[in-house]
Amino acid sequence: MADALGEILLTEEQIRRRVAELGRQISADYAGLELTLVCVLRGAVVFLADLIRHLSLPASIDFMAISSYGSDTQSTGVVRIVKDLDDSIQHRHVLVVEDIVDTGLTLAYLLDNLRNRSATSVRVCALLDKPARRRVPITLDYVGFTLPDCFVVGYGLDFAQRYRGLPHVVVLSPEEVCPRG
């Protein structure tokens, strides 16, 4: 398993510090309000668990599972809801918690879907952003880190359901070119 891993892009400490900063920023922006965090499964669950501990406001959580990858490293472009929300988000302030945004196709689909459910507001907090791969315009309200165009795993992100438990973010393989920005 370790042979497939390349360069560490984000250390455990870098991630820990940035998640705490995001928690403080979100808490300030939503002060006096109750927030519903919608975690996009499965990759964002580690990020969500750490993020919610840094919020200083009332927050509920719900989960959605969206698929556009299968077991490949490239999005198929076909988005499907695998698991829907359990609770209504009508008249709620919703913060979508995503692990990574690249093409934006999956997130655009998800945001349209959630906005059609009469939420008071819908915003996005993504741990990782890969704008070089963007195919549709998307607004990310909170971003942990911006990455170059390479396939990464760890801290919840996987390849074929492997590597999610790594405490850092790492390039999948040493052969993969990951240019520094």
State the Cα–Cα distance between residues 114 and 107, nearest whole angstrom.
10
Q: Based on the residue annotation, tell me whether 102 is a catalytic residue of this protein.
A: yes
Residue 34 burial (10 A CB sphere; 0-12, 13-18, 19+): exposed
CA nearest to 8, candidates 174, 126, 168, 165: 168
Of 50, 99, 102, 129, which one is the catalytic site residue?
Answer: 102
Query: HSE (CB half, 13 Å, CA atoms) of 143?
Result: 14
Q: Are 125 and 99 in contact (CB under 8 A)?
A: no
Q: What is the largest CA-CA distance in the chain?
A: 49
Q: How many helices (H) and strands (E) does the chain have?
A: 3, 9
Nearest alpha carbon to residue 141 among 118, 116, 107, 168: 107
Question: Which single residue is written with the structure tokens 């070119």?
Answer: 177
* Residues known to be catalytic: 102
